Chain A
Amino acid sequence: MAHANAPYLGKDLLGLEELSREQITALLDTAEAFKEISNRPIKKVPVLRGKTIVNAFFENSTRTRISFEFAQKRLSADTVNISSTGSSVAKGETLVDTARNLEAMNIDMVVIRHGASGSARFLAERIKSNVVNAGDGKHEHPTQGLLDLLTIRDHRGPLEGLRVCICGDVLHSRVARSNIHGLRKMGAEVGVCGPQTLLPADVQTLGVTVFRRIEEAIEWADVLNVLRLQLERMKGGFIPSLREYNRVFGVTRERVERAPRDVLILHPGPMNRGVEIDSDVADGPHSVILQQVTNGVAVRMAVLYLLSGGAPEQAEAAKTGGDA
């Protein structure tokens, strides 16, 4: 008996801003079904057998790259990793060259992490293969957004009406952007909280509530997504000191215990313990930080699986071609 088909995602996954609620739901539901594969004695299904995937990481990343690699291997894809640091070539040229070289090797998908916002789209428009954005500059990190949504849904049920506050360095954060788009599409209320210097000037245009004090944010929220303070980007005098940041904006046990309800705690990692989040909270009963990591593999499996198919009209064309 024919199975129902999942909605088509398009050729690429560049951001959650472009996805509909229906598409996000399909991704989360598929990830839900894929969780079980990682618990099998043989953690592998043959669905991407014969597909070649290039992981092009132009910016350092350990957990995202490893998570994508696990996802690819558990779907039986063949993978190649490219990493490049500090190329002297201008970004545009590097990417065009990379794209041409990749296409010449008959690949099926590219997972790209790049420091320039918009680089994933730039690549996607120039190659036929599927492109998955694994983080582009300050733009989006859609698979992180999806795994956050899945983890919240696991613990708090449907996202509709939930209050989720994104805390910390929203300015530099592609995770924040993907979360805001994804959560709002799913009907959640989104807040942001951080020092004014670390909130984008136009943050209200994204449809979020701005909290200036972490205490107010915690009182309001069902879920806190605590962002990493990107220490490598803190040279511009955004905050007076790390100690000061922790004192004013840190998610501490005292603050969480004062909340009127149990607040679910997420963090995309890697954590700066004692800066944006205290160890008591990170390792505490409401933390789902490690489950985010587990869910990350399932979400990435779902993304790769759903992108591997193609458009409905391609299927029709293939059918007609076959019968002729």
Chain B
Amino acid sequence: MTEPQRRTLMDTHATERALSRMAREVVRLAGGAETLILVGIHRRGVQLADRMAAEIRAAGAVVATGTLDITLYRDDLMTVGPRPVVGPTRLPALGIDGRIVAIVDDVLYTGRTVRAALDELADFGRPRRTLLAVLVDRGGRELPIQPDVVGLTAEVPEGGRVEVLVPEIDGSLGVELVEAA
């Protein structure tokens, strides 16, 4: 077996710039940060949402954040086998009714995670509008779901996969393309 080839799609600096731009776009689409809630999808979407929130706060605005673990809403849980580990879900105590929720995830691929996230959010309330912000859109949708804000659109060769690295989990910030071995 040969080691799979890894290629950097965005280094730390480029990723920081992309997140900064995404933060500005989300605020613009939401018409300000006051009603906005950035909701990171567990796991790496959480760190990305935190970074975007830090950008927004650095510009002097106040913004709410939350985290969502979509495991219990997945559409493949009817399959047999060990159950996935369930992570924490935390949304603002005042709820999401009437707010603008921006779902933040690392990679948008089939769209199934986002479908699950939309269903889960609906059990918490009725946002005025829900946006989708992803660091990487790699195409390959299996559901009619499109992002509102994208950091990078990537072409991924067959069998390849996009890995988003965040310092809290992976030790560094960046985006890599892992090609099929």
Binding site for B on A (CB under 8 A): 1, 3-8, 26, 29-30, 33-34, 36-37, 40-42, 44-47, 50, 75, 305-306, 308-312, 314-316, 318
B44 touches A33 (CB 8 A): no
| A47/B72 contact (C-beta < 8 A), A5-B84, A309-B81 known | yes
A33 touches B82 (CB 8 A): no
Quick one: which of B78-97 are within 8 Å of A by CB? Answer: 78-90, 95
| A315/B79 contact (C-beta < 8 A), A6-B84, A45-B123 known | yes
| A3/B82 contact (C-beta < 8 A), A36-B88, A44-B123 known | no
B80 touches A318 (CB 8 A): yes
Give the number of A-B contacts (CB < 8 Å).
87
Closest chain-A Cβ to B86's Cβ sits at a distance in Å of 4
B162 nearest CB neighbor, chain A only: A1
Instruction: Provide the bound-state CA to CA distance between A316 and B79, in Å.
Output: 10
A45 nearest CB neighbor, chain B only: B72
In this complex, the member of A1, A37, A305, A314 whose beta carbon has the largest number of chain B beta carbons within 10 angstroms is A1
Size class of B's contact patch?
A: 20 to 34
Instruction: Provide the bound-state CA to CA distance between A120 and B27, in Å.
Output: 57
Binding site for A on B (CB under 8 A): 43-44, 69, 71-73, 77-90, 95, 106-107, 119-120, 123-125, 163
A1 touches B107 (CB 8 A): yes
Instruction: Provide the bound-state CA to CA distance between A316 and B82, in Å.
Output: 11
From DSSP, what is the main secondary structure of chain B's interface residues? loop
Closest chain-A Cβ to B170's Cβ sits at a distance in Å of 12
* Residue from B44, B69, B80, B125 within 8 A of A315 (CB atoms): B80
| A36/B89 contact (C-beta < 8 A), A41-B125, A42-B123, A47-B72 known | yes
B83 touches A309 (CB 8 A): yes
Instruction: Provide the bound-state CA to CA distance between A34 and B124, in Å.
Output: 15
A322 nearest CB neighbor, chain B only: B79
B107 touches A7 (CB 8 A): no
What are the 5 tightest A-B residue pairs by CB atom distance, in nearest-first order? A315-B81, A310-B80, A3-B84, A5-B82, A45-B72
Instruction: Provide the bound-state CA to CA distance between A40 and B78, in Å.
Output: 24
A42 touches B124 (CB 8 A): yes
B106 nearest CB neighbor, chain A only: A1
* Residue from B77, B81, B124 within 8 A of A318 (CB atoms): B81
Given contacts A6-B83, A309-B82, 4 further A-B contacts (CB under 8 A): A6-B82, A33-B87, A33-B88, A42-B124
A40 touches B107 (CB 8 A): no
A8 touches B87 (CB 8 A): no
